[in-house]
Amino acid sequence: MTTADLVAPRRADTRAAGRTVARAIVLLLLIGYALVSLYPFLWMVSAAFKNQIEVVRGGHLIPESPTLDTLTETWDKLHFFDYFLNSVLVTTYTVVLTLAVYAAAGYAFAVLRFKGRKALSRMFVGLLFVPGVTVMLPIVILENKLGLLGTHWGLVLPFVNGGAPMSILLMTAAFSAIPGELRDSARVDGASEFRIFAGIYLPLAKPALVTVALLTAVPTWNEYLLTRVSLNDPGTYTLPLGLQTLAAENIPQYNNLMAGALIVVVPVILLLLFLQRYFVSGLVGAVKG
């Protein structure tokens, strides 16, 4: 047995030990980052089940005397049900219109052949790099001229328009991955273009549709800037504006503020947990496409 034969296993053991140590360090750093990131959320959840005195006094993360009064007061007495319903309506209309419009656009870019298709597709991709705040003033001016300023449709239409680049990109990738032979066979059987789109392509692109729906619903649900600029009637406020009214009180009730924040966050978390499998599949399919 030569010296090289003895040294090689030692080097392999050293490299394996080094990799183990590196993984342990990375794991500890990730755990530390997760704890730091989760603490504000956990404090919010904790404060939503405390009274104002216990929140101001500070103390343990776990409430000393947990109570549902804070949540019920925030929901019933501070009109959060109205804000919640307004957010549901705006988000639902936005998601439905986005799926209807950009699923059709993605099908056209992926399947149909027409002049200027590639240039138009690249233009939409380029819009991904345009900051939304740069078009805020033109949107408000246009809404005012159309009589939409201060209405929920004045939010829905800009949200749908703003989701065009990402939605078209994802739907085009999803439809491009579907074998063209399916469309050819359907055409031979006499199926119309709409029937092929609705009966074949849409069901096969379900993960992409869910992904687009989630990527549209979450920012729409949480949108504050355009909502703050557009809406001035408290009866039309969405949840972010309702939460802002709590924060703007002369003497903020921090327990109510945290309860309101919890009401805003929980539906998004539940939606992501429920549709996580489709969301991940849709993103993977878009990357492969």
Domain residue limits, the chain: 3-47, 78-288
Residue with tokens 């119309």: 192
**pLDDT tier, 20 (very low <50, low <70, confident <90, very high otherwise):** confident
Please state which of the ranges 109-113, 116-120, 180-184, 258-262 shows the lowest mean pLDDT. Answer: 116-120
**Contact predicate 175/110, CB 8 Å:** yes
- CA–CA distance, 150 with 230 (Å, rounded to integer): 5
Reduced to 3 states (helix: H, G, I; strand: E, B; else coil), residue 147 is: coil
**Contact predicate 260/243, CB 8 Å:** yes
Q: What proportion of the chain, given as a percentage, has pLDDT over 70?
A: 88
Other beta carbons less than 10 A from residue 9's beta carbon? 9
Question: Which residues have CB under 8 Å from 265's CB, separation 6+?
Answer: 41, 44
Q: How confident is the model over 122-180, as pLDDT tens digits?
A: 787 777 777 777 788 888 888 888 888 889 999 999 999 888 888 888 888 888 888 88
Q: Between 23 and 60, name the one with better pLDDT.
A: 23
Instruction: Give Cα separations from 46 to 3, 33, 53, 78 (angstroms).
Output: 63, 20, 13, 20
**pLDDT tier, 93 (very low <50, low <70, confident <90, very high otherwise):** very high
Q: Between 64 and 235, name the one with better pLDDT.
A: 235
DSSP state of 127: G
State mean pLDDT over 239-264.
Answer: 82
pLDDT for position 10: 61
Instruction: Give Cα separations from 215 to 112, 151, 188, 222 (angstroms).
Output: 25, 23, 36, 12
The pLDDT mean for the chain works out to 82
pLDDT for position 53: 78
- CA–CA distance, 89 with 238 (Å, rounded to integer): 9
Q: What proportion of the chain, given as a percentage, has pLDDT over 90?
A: 12
**pLDDT tier, 90 (very low <50, low <70, confident <90, very high otherwise):** very high
pLDDT for position 85: 92
- CA–CA distance, 136 with 155 (Å, rounded to integer): 12
pLDDT for position 282: 58
Q: How confident is the model over 95-108, as pLDDT tens digits?
A: 999 999 999 988 88
pLDDT for position 220: 92
Superfamily of domain 78-288: MetI-like (1.10.3720.10)
pLDDT for position 94: 95
- CA–CA distance, 84 with 104 (Å, rounded to integer): 30
In 48-196, which residue ranges form alpha helices assigned H by DSSP?
52-57, 69-76, 80-110, 117-126, 136-146, 153-162, 164-176, 180-188, 193-196
Do you know the residue count of the chain? Answer: 289
pLDDT for position 56: 77
Q: Is 111 exposed, middle or buried (0-12, 13-18, 19+ CB in 10 A)?
A: middle
pLDDT for position 286: 52
Token output for 233:
């009637």
Q: State yes or no: pLDDT of 210 exceeds 60.
A: yes
- CA–CA distance, 124 with 109 (Å, rounded to integer): 11
pLDDT for position 284: 58
State mean pLDDT over 227-238.
Answer: 88
